[in-house]
Structure 1
Amino acid sequence: MKHYPFNKALLVVSLLVLSACSSQPTTNDIAENTIGEKYKANEKAEIYLQLGVQYMQRGQRGDYDIALERLKKALSIDPNYPDAHNAIAVLYERIGQTEFAREHYERAVALNPRDSDAQNNYGQFLCKQNRWAEADAAFMKSLENPVYRTPEIPYINAALCATRSQNFDKSEAYLRKTLEINKNFPLALYQLANLYYDKKQFANARDYLKRYASVAKHTPQTLWLGVRIERMLHDKDSEASYAMLLRSEFPESEQTQLLNQSERQ
């Protein structure tokens, strides 16, 4: 049985994350993440864009409606503002308006094909539509920018997309590229552990899961994977340790139910 990532959503990069604690670029940093000059947006359009993204990030009841209104206003002021097209595409995708999302993603990358974040977001959108080859091309396009700050994001997304399309060799290659850039990227470590478990390379799976545990907190999915790895390696003490943690930390989880079922068989 092939296993999907514990966070099934691909990673969307918002160009306009306004939180000071975020590791993603802010509007002031866009020029550093693109080749060539930053698009000179209308000042009012940029203000409406920032307001729209703020409401998107809050995610409370009614916030998406306000965000959509603000982003539409930004585009009414400046119809060729690529960052606004990217942001409204992300919003339309979140609220399930797929066709509008597609139109604005396509507009964003057409207006600024060298925008790595927009290409990444478009790639994850295409992957969800099972348009595997086009998604992969968008992820690779995002990596053409030599000053892109977070190339591990398109690589991990390309890996997750390859997994969804059951191209596991490509997924492994992209996961390794992710770890070359960021050796402690938790999702990549988990995915490789999962992949090696599926390949019956249990010692390798154990190693990557241990690396995961050294940099991130366990989830029900990682603990259940640990149980299964140690079971296949006939390490009863380690299996019991994972099982105890799973039951104590996540007693109501689906994975705890699977554990209980497996022990009754």
Structure 2
Amino acid sequence: GVANLDSNRQEAFVSFQKAIKENPEHRDAQYYVGHIYAMQGKYQLAEEQFRTVLRISPEYSEASAYLGQVLAQQDRWQEAVRAYRRALNNPLYATPDVAWFNLGRALAHEGDMNGAAQAFEDALLVSPPNVPSGMVHLELGRAYYRLGYDVKAREMLSRVVELDKDGPSAAEAEKLLERLKH
């Protein structure tokens, strides 16, 4: 199943479905079916899969974080915030910066810029990072900008320009830096 995930999604899907039929408690097969649904934009079905995974394995932070992403895609931001926080409750979670980053974006969407800035700051503490540093610095710079912390915003946005030379994050950062000049 997993070997075919990128090259032949349909074959992988069938393989995972077979594994689930043999063992409905097969956590990873359930998770990857949710992943396939999410990749297809079938967020309601993906949500159901990730909720099934979490019934099987409540501590599976990757499923909580992915649930947060599919909830955000459905414009259910408060539920997404809860899912990201649930993922972060597990001290053994291997990629917490992903959840911190997405939590920050959800909180920013909901207007909690202080919470968003804190989440982005926490994402930057994770080493090695799983989210490109330029993206995290950009979102943190945006949060500082919206909070009126111009000096901190300039510092973060200048860092993005260094980290993401000629990339999309650098272009966004340069636009915000231009606004900060006026």
Q: TM-score range by the shorter chain?
A: 0.7 to 0.9
**Structure 2 equivalent of residue 130 of structure 1:** 75
Q: Does 1:55 align with 2:23?
A: no
What is the rounded CA distance, in whole Å, between the counterparts of 2:61 and 2:179 in structure 1? 42
Provide the C-alpha distance between the structure 2 equivalents of 1:86 and 1:233, rounded to a whole number of angstroms.
Answer: 47
- Kept in 2, the 8 Å contact 1:106–1:122? The answer is yes
Tell me the distance in 2 between the aligned counterparts of 1:181 and 1:98.
28
Q: CA RMSD in A?
A: 2.3
Residue 223 of structure 1 pairs with residue 171 of structure 2 = yes
| Partner of residue 161 from structure 1, selected from 97, 101, 106 | 106
Q: Aligned AA for 2:90?
A: N
Summarize the Cα distance change of 1:225–1:169 in structure 2 as closer, same or farther, 3 Å threshold. same
Unaligned runs of 5+ in 2: none
Whether the 8 Å CA contact 1:122–1:135 is kept in 2: the answer is yes
Question: Contact between 1:156 and 1:175, CA under 8 Å: does it hold in 2?
Answer: yes
| Residue 23 (structure 2) aligned to one of 78, 95, 108 | 78
| Pairwise CA distance, 1:75 | 1.0
Name the residue aligned to 2:52: 107
SS at 1:139 equivalent: helix
Counterpart AA for 1:85? Q
Greater CA radius of gyration, 1 or 2? Answer: 1
Which residue identity does 1:64 align to in structure 2? R
Secondary structure, counterpart of 2:5 in structure 1? helix
Aligned to 2:150: 202
> What TM-score does the superposition give when structure 1 sets the normalisation length?
0.60
* CA distance in structure 2 between the aligned counterparts of 1:93 and 1:216, rounded to whole angstroms: 28
Shift, 1:113, TM fit: 0.5
Q: 1:220 to 1:135 in 2, by over 3 A?
A: closer
- Which residue in the other structure is 1:252 paired with? none
- Tell me which of the two structures has the higher relative contact order, counting C-alpha pairs closer than 8 angstroms and 6 or more residues apart: 1
2:30–2:50 CA contact under 8 A, matched in 1: yes
Partners of 1:190 and 1:212 within 8 A in 2: yes
How many equivalent residue pairs? 179
Deviations 1:230-265 (A, max 9, x none): 45326xxxxxxxxxxxxxxxxxxxxxxxxxxxxxxx
Moved over 4 A (4+): none
Does structure 2 retain, via aligned residues, the 8 Å contact 1:55–1:66? yes
**Residues 2-34 of structure 1: CA deviation (Å, up to 9, x unaligned):** xxxxxxxxxxxxxxxxxxxxxxxxxxxxxxxxx
Quote the residue 2:140 is aligned against: 192
Task: Output the TM-score relative to the length of structure 2.
Answer: 0.85
Q: What does residue 89 of structure 1 align with?
A: 34
Spell out, residue by residue over 1:99-151, the C-alpha distance to the aligned partner (whole angstroms, 9 max, x if none): 32122111001100101111111111122222222222221111222222221
Q: 1:194 is matched by which residue type in structure 2?
A: R
